[in-house]
Chain A
Amino acid sequence: MAGMNDLSRLVDAGGITIELRRGGSGAPLLVIHGELGVPGWLDSFAQLAKHYDVIVPLLPGYGRSTRPDWIMSVHDLAAWITWFARDLDLRTPVNVIGCSLGGWVAAEIATVAPQFLNKLVLVGAMGIKPEHGEIFDYFLESGLTGLRRAFYRPEQSPGFTRYWGKEWTPEEADLIEQHREMTCRIAWKPYMHSLTLRYLLPGIITPTLLVWGRDDAITPLECGEIYQHAIPRSQLAVIEHCGHMPEMEQPAEFSQLVEHFLSG
């Protein structure tokens, strides 16, 4: 099991080199991050690491993970995740948290590979076109605007101020652009949603918890409700005073919800 100090390293898995953050001990808990990447070892990860072996790969094209040109869709990422997990010798079925774009990836896995999953947590997940509102278009705005919008109150959120609230170095600015580019490569059109996913959700047998910020200004809460209606026996937990990234903006409440669900 990885020690708490061994939190970021490069590993070869799934055919490429991957930046991997891993900490804690217990049953494996795989986190699939969203379109904004994952900027560090989040407080919520530290909390969950008390009971789980928390495994956070930077997806292909994000962070220092290499970008194979053949990855062009969320489906490709979903298939790649199962390959990655096999190469890490993760015992399956495994618990998975999927955030935003990563939630869409996790939902795709659930529709085709139920044997891979033990329990599933989808957080502000992309993948579903809302019926009334719209998924925020990151690409009509700057990287900073998108990041700020992902938080209910960015200035009051230690998750935001710690990682993105200061003036960016050129390297940090490049990383934000790199993440935006990778997101373009896989989710440009149809933008951040699948035309078929919602019809496949009723086939999911994995116990699923949906976590949404009440004030999610990226993926409307309505999307969470659609997920909840479509996935059999799923539950929707809504966190107050929280935007698109509960794992960063409300880490304590988020971790508590997840722990409760996984241990139940």
Chain B
Amino acid sequence: MTRKFFFFSEMGYNAYPVEALEKYGYSALLFPNSIFDAEKARDLWQMFLREHEYASEIGFDGSVCNEHHNNVLSMQESVNISAAVISQRIKGAIALIGNPLPIHDNPVRVAEEIAMLDLISGGRIISGFVRGTGIEQLSTNANPAYNRERFEEAFALIKKTWTVSGPFRWEGKHYHLRVVNPWQLPLQKPHPPIWAAGILSPETIRWAARQRITYLVLGSALDATATCRDIYHEVAREDGWTPTPEHLGYLIHTAVMDTDEEAYEMGRYHYGGASVIGRSGGVAQSALSSGTGSAGATGGGPHPEWMAPPGYMSKQAKTGNMARERRMSEGSYDAALRAGLIVTGSPKTIVQKFKHIIDRTDPGYLTFWAREGKKPHEATMRGIELLGKEVIPVLREHQSALVSGKEVTPWPE
């Protein structure tokens, strides 16, 4: 397949007063919604949708949308509503990364909504499924101790809904449905492409490989992503098949501007910091001196238990090599840049960096996390323009060293 280039934005509520972060020390779950200003949010929606639209106009292959709850990180409480709206504003694919399955008590409803999306968009949907963060379990009251069981059972039920004619009955451990027989089924057959997305859970990577579905690495550092790819390929080898680039997606914080210096400054908007659970978890006091972005989103902060409620995360995921690598990359903004957690530069610089990234990971889907937090709209639009006009066209021509056998493009000094 030809590599695809997507645009991503969490579409976060960035109109919160910074002092509120200082006061509470977090920006999620218990961050009081009295701070929310509906009129500001209305305007933000229009701005964010315009950014998606512009990315499509300028040459991106698609847009990516997401879901979070009780969190300034993202105003998308329903990824399916985001996808519905975006599908009417852009020409390309819409990837959902995705529906957090364990929080739903009726997974067939998710299957129905994705079928609707696929029909309305004319078959442009990529259906990602996630476990949801710890915050999602707490804010929707989904039992974290059964998170993985619920994820896997919901996935199996949705897949059956799309591939086996109804009506049928489902009597599982967590889900019980008398009649599964939704009227609408997806346009794409047998179903839209399915992705699983994650940060550092080796179990999910192995599971995705066993299912032979695309694994999307969410905003992780380069070494960790290469490790994800290795694990995926290792499992595939055990199962006797060879993954293609389309089995790996990579979502990367990206700040491109006309000069390296401007891009470096814009990249700061992406940085959260090691002591931050990030915008997906709550921001520690120290976040204000380090940044207010979401890169470095798994460290700790005042309530690490929100990101890892009991039973949600295996011991291996908490303490394994990938977690360790990630923590090291989150220590400072410059450490995050060195680790490739955030990629910045002028078009010329960033092309070389992404060639290096492609050479090492060969993702079939490269998604630029190109709008974040309080980054100004004008700078975001300029970044999108440069990516569309000067970066993506060059990268389209670049074959990964993993395929060509050539030397890995060096990381620019």
By a CB distance below 8 angstroms, the chain B residues around A180 are 310-311
By a CB distance below 8 angstroms, the chain A residues around B306 are 140
Q: How far is the CA of A183 from the CA of B146 in the complex (A)?
A: 12
Q: How far is the CA of A189 from the CA of B143 in the complex (A)?
A: 8
> Which of A143, A177, A182, A184 gathers the greatest number of chain B CB atoms within 10 Å?
A184
CB of A185 closer than 8 Å to a CB of B: yes
Q: Is the CB of B145 within 8 A of A181?
A: yes
Q: Is the CB of B305 within 8 A of A181?
A: no
Shortest CB-to-CB span from B144 to chain A, Å, is 6
Q: How far is the CA of A142 from the CA of B309 in the complex (A)?
A: 9
Q: Is the CB of A188 within 8 A of B143?
A: yes
Residues of A127-180 at the interface with B, using a CB-CB cut-off of 8 Å, are: 139-143, 174, 177, 180
Q: Is the CB of A185 within 8 A of B143?
A: yes
By a CB distance below 8 angstroms, the chain B residues around A142 are 303-305
CB of B34 closer than 8 Å to a CB of A: no
Q: Is the CB of B310 within 8 A of A183?
A: yes
Q: Is the CB of A188 within 8 A of B305?
A: no
Shortest CB-to-CB span from B135 to chain A, Å, is 11
CB of B42 closer than 8 Å to a CB of A: no
Q: Given A184-B309, A184-B311: A140 and B143 within 8 A (CB)? A: no
By a CB distance below 8 angstroms, the chain B residues around A143 are 305
- What 1/0 mask marks residues of chain A from 51 to 63 whose CB sits below 8 Å from any chain B CB? 0000000000000
By a CB distance below 8 angstroms, the chain B residues around A139 are 138, 144, 305, 309-310
CB of B178 closer than 8 Å to a CB of A: no
Q: How far is the CA of A44 from the CA of B270 in the complex (A)?
A: 55
By a CB distance below 8 angstroms, the chain A residues around B177 are none
Residues of B290-322 at the interface with A, using a CB-CB cut-off of 8 Å, are: 303-306, 309-311, 315
- Residue in contact with B145 in the complex, picked from A140, A141, A185, CB distance below 8 Å: A185
Q: In the complex, what residue of chain B is closest to A137 when comparing beta carbons?
A: B138
Q: In the complex, what residue of chain B is closest to A188 when comparing beta carbons?
A: B143
CB of B289 closer than 8 Å to a CB of A: no
By a CB distance below 8 angstroms, the chain B residues around A181 are 145, 310-311
Q: In the complex, what residue of chain A is closest to B29 when comparing beta carbons?
A: A140
- What 1/0 mask marks residues of chain A from 182 to 196 whose CB sits below 8 Å from any chain B CB? 111100110000000
Q: Given A142-B305, A180-B310: A185 and B146 within 8 A (CB)? A: yes
Shortest CB-to-CB span from A163 to chain B, Å, is 20
Q: Given A139-B310, A141-B305: A184 and B143 within 8 A (CB)? A: yes
By a CB distance below 8 angstroms, the chain A residues around B144 are 139, 184
By a CB distance below 8 angstroms, the chain A residues around B309 are 139, 184
Q: How far is the CA of A151 from the CA of B145 in the complex (A)?
A: 26
Shortest CB-to-CB span from B300 to chain A, Å, is 11
**Number of residue pairs A-B, CB distance < 8 angstroms:** 41
Shortest CB-to-CB span from B346 to chain A, Å, is 44
Q: In the complex, what residue of chain A is closest to B147 when comparing beta carbons?
A: A184
CB of B81 closer than 8 Å to a CB of A: no
Residues of B113-148 at the interface with A, using a CB-CB cut-off of 8 Å, are: 138, 141, 143-146
Q: In the complex, what residue of chain B is closest to A179 when comparing beta carbons?
A: B310
CB of B18 closer than 8 Å to a CB of A: no
By a CB distance below 8 angstroms, the chain A residues around B311 are 180-181, 184-185
Q: Is the CB of A184 within 8 A of B141?
A: no
CB of B85 closer than 8 Å to a CB of A: no
CB of B30 closer than 8 Å to a CB of A: yes
Q: How far is the CA of A148 from the CA of B138 in the complex (A)?
A: 22
Shortest CB-to-CB span from B380 to chain A, Å, is 35
Shortest CB-to-CB span from A148 to chain B, Å, is 14
By a CB distance below 8 angstroms, the chain B residues around A183 are 310
Q: In the complex, what residue of chain A is closest to B134 when comparing beta carbons?
A: A139
Q: In the complex, what residue of chain B is closest to A191 when comparing beta carbons?
A: B141
Q: Is the CB of A184 within 8 A of B305?
A: no
By a CB distance below 8 angstroms, the chain B residues around A184 are 143-145, 309-311
By a CB distance below 8 angstroms, the chain A residues around B146 are 185
Shortest CB-to-CB span from A71 to chain B, Å, is 12
Q: In the complex, what residue of chain B is closest to A185 when comparing beta carbons?
A: B145
Shortest CB-to-CB span from B20 to chain A, Å, is 19
By a CB distance below 8 angstroms, the chain B residues around A174 are 315
Shortest CB-to-CB span from A145 to chain B, Å, is 9
By a CB distance below 8 angstroms, the chain B residues around A182 are 145
Shortest CB-to-CB span from B316 to chain A, Å, is 12
Q: In the complex, what residue of chain B is closest to A61 when comparing beta carbons?
A: B145
By a CB distance below 8 angstroms, the chain B residues around A188 are 141, 143, 145
Q: How far is the CA of A143 from the CA of B310 in the complex (A)?
A: 10
Q: How far is the CA of A180 from the CA of B315 in the complex (A)?
A: 14
Shortest CB-to-CB span from A176 to chain B, Å, is 10
Shortest CB-to-CB span from A147 to chain B, Å, is 13
Q: How far is the CA of A140 from the CA of B311 in the complex (A)?
A: 14
Q: Given A177-B310, A180-B310, A181-B311: A189 and B145 within 8 A (CB)? A: no
Shortest CB-to-CB span from A60 to chain B, Å, is 14
20 CB-based A-B contacts, threshold 8 Å: A139-B309, A140-B29, A140-B30, A140-B303, A140-B305, A140-B306, A141-B303, A180-B310, A180-B311, A181-B310, A181-B311, A184-B144, A184-B309, A184-B310, A185-B143, A185-B311, A188-B143, A188-B145, A189-B141, A189-B143
Residues of B within 8 A of A (CB): 29-30, 138, 141, 143-146, 303-306, 309-311, 315
Residues of A within 8 A of B (CB): 139-143, 174, 177, 180-185, 188-189
Q: Which 6 pairs across A and B sit closest by C-beta, in order of nearness?
A: A180-B310, A181-B311, A184-B145, A181-B310, A188-B143, A185-B145
Q: Besides A142-B305, A177-B310, A182-B145, 13 other CB < 8 A contacts?
A: A139-B138, A139-B305, A139-B309, A139-B310, A140-B305, A141-B303, A143-B305, A183-B310, A184-B311, A185-B145, A185-B146, A189-B141, A189-B143
